[in-house]
Amino acid sequence: MFDMAAHALSRYGLGARPGDRLDIQIDPQGWVTDQLAASADDSAAVDDRPTTKEAITKIYALKALEAEKSMGKDVLDQVREARNVLNETFLGDITARLEQGFTTTTPVNERLVRFWGNHFSISAENALISPAIGAFERDVIRSNLNGSFYDLLLAAESHPAMIVYLNNEQSTGPNSTAGSRRNRGLNENFAREIMELHTVGVNGGYDQADVTSFAKILTGWSVNFRSPDIAGFGEFEFDKSRHEPGAQWVMGKSYADTGEVQAKSVLQNLARHPATARFIATKLARHFVSDTPPESAIAKIEAVFLDTEGDLPSLYRAIAELPEVWAEAGTKFRLPEDYLIALGRAVGIPDTYKAYLHSIPAEMGQRTYAASRPNGWADSANDWLTGFGILRRADVAAAVTSVTSDIDGYGLMRDLYGDNLSRRTQNALLDAPHPRLTLALALASPELMYY
C-alpha cells in the first residue's frame, strides 16, 4: 500500500525525521498545504549571520588592502587576515544553511528556498563575492518567497552579489557620459543570463539584438563600493553617468529612457511573459515530479502562472495539488547536499562532524554555493547517478554510522518510510550480520538517495 505521508515528507519536504510520518498520516496533502501557509522556521539560517552590507564591507576591506599591496605597501599579513575573514564568513553561511535543513520544522518552505536559490544561482567560483552569497539567499530568496515572481526577480537582479557576479557593476554605455570620457565598454553577461536563465529561457524568442539592447538598458545598475563612510555603501545604486541614453527595443517592445525605471519595465514584462511561465513551470515540474515531467503537470503550473501573473503562493498550491506528484515515490535522485540533509534529518549529524560539515557536500561532488555555471546545479539523475557519486554517499553513511551505531536501522526505516520501504531494502537490512552494518545499509539505501 502506497504511504502518502512518507512520500509527502520526501517529495515536498527534505526527508522525514523519526515520528514525522505518523504525525501527518491522516492528511499528508493537508500537511503540505499547511506548511505553505506557515511562517518560515528559518532561524538557523538567519540568526547572527551577516547582512549584505556587512558582507560587502568585508569584501571592500580586502580590495582596499590588495590595492595597498599592489602599491608596494607591507600589508601581506593584513591581506591574509582579510581573506580568512571572507572565508570564515562563507563557510559559516554554508554550515548555517545545512543546520537549517537538518532542524527546520517547515521543510516545504525550505525546499522552495533551495529551488529558487539554485534558479538564481550565484557561485563562489568568484571567490571575492563568496561572503555575500548567504546574504543574497537571506535577503532575496527568503524575503521574497511568497510574493510575485516579479518581486523575486527584481530583488535578485538588483542585489549587489548578482550584479558583481554577472559583471554589470562596470558595464558602461558607449554613448554615456562615462563611456565617452573613459572609453569603457558594454558587458552583456547580465542581460543574457537574466533572459536565458532567469526568465524566458534560451528558447524564449529573443535574439542577440535583444540581448545587446537589454544590456544597454541595464548600464548604470551597479553597487556603491566607494567607501563604508558614504551613505548607501554596499547597496544597489543607479549610476546615471554609465547609463546608455535613449530608447531601446527588447523582444518587440520599445522602452523609453527613464533611467533606472527603464530596466525595471523590461524585468516586469519578462516576469509576465508566456515564455517565462513555460520555463518556470517546466523547472518546477522537473523538480517536484520527475526528470522528464509529463506535459499535463507542466501545463497546470504554467496556466496558474499566467492566470495569476506569477503569484508564487498560487504556484506552490498548484504543485501541492498535482496528481502527478502523488502518483509515484522515489522518482527523483537527490543532489549530494539534499542527501546529506535527508540523512541528518533521519539520524542527526554527530558533533564529531560539525566542525567540517561544510566540506561534506563537496566531497560528494556538490560544493555548496559553488555551481560551476550561472545556471546552477543540474536537477536530473543523469548528472549525479555515477559510481563515484554512490561510493561517496556510502562513505558518508558509513562515517555517520560509526558514531551513531546504537540506532536500529531496520526500525528507523520502517518509521520513516512505512509501506514505501521496498522489499529489497527490507531484506538487505534483515540479512545484515550486525546492527552497525544494518544502519550503514539503511543510510545508503535507495530510499535515502531518492525522493
Q: Which of 239, 241, 215 is nearest to 225 (CA)?
A: 239
Q: Residue 219: is it exposed, middle or buried by C-beta count within 10 angstroms (0-12/13-18/19+)?
A: buried
* Residues 178 and 230 occupy one common structural domain: yes
All residues at 6 or more sequence positions from 290 whose CB lies less than 8 Å from its CB, including other chains: 331, 332
Within a domain: 1: no
- In terms of domains, do 47 and 128 share one? yes
Number of domains, the chain:
4
Question: Are 71 and 156 members of one domain?
Answer: yes
Written as one string, the DSSP assignment of 379-404 is -SGGGT-SHHHHHHHHHHHHHHHHT-
Residue type, 223: V
- What pLDDT is recorded for position 231? 86
- 380 and 358 within one domain: yes
Helices H / strands E in the chain, number of each: 25, 4
Please name the residue that has the C-alpha cell 562515517.
399
For 131-155, the pLDDT digits (tens) are 999 999 999 999 999 999 999 999 9
The CA-based dihedral angle spanning residues 260, 265, 271, 273, taken in that order and rounded to the nearest 10 degrees = -150
pLDDT score, position 381: 96
Domain housing 201: 166-271
Domain final residue, candidates 103, 134, 164: 164
Closest CA to 338 of 8, 121, 110, 145: 110
Domain boundary among 164, 195, 216: 164
Q: For the chain, list residues with pLDDT below 50.
A: none
3-state secondary structure of 236: strand
Residues 243 and 314 in one domain: no
Cell numbers at residue 51, please? 547582512
Task: Tell me, yes or no, whether 291 and 229 share the same domain.
Answer: no
pLDDT tens, residue by residue, 378-423? 999 999 999 999 999 999 999 999 988 789 999 999 999 999 999 9
Identify whether residues 47 and 112 lie together within a single domain: yes
pTM over 0.85, yes/no:
yes
Amino acid at 275: A
Q: Is residue 29 part of a domain?
A: no
**Quick one: pLDDT at residue 72?**
85
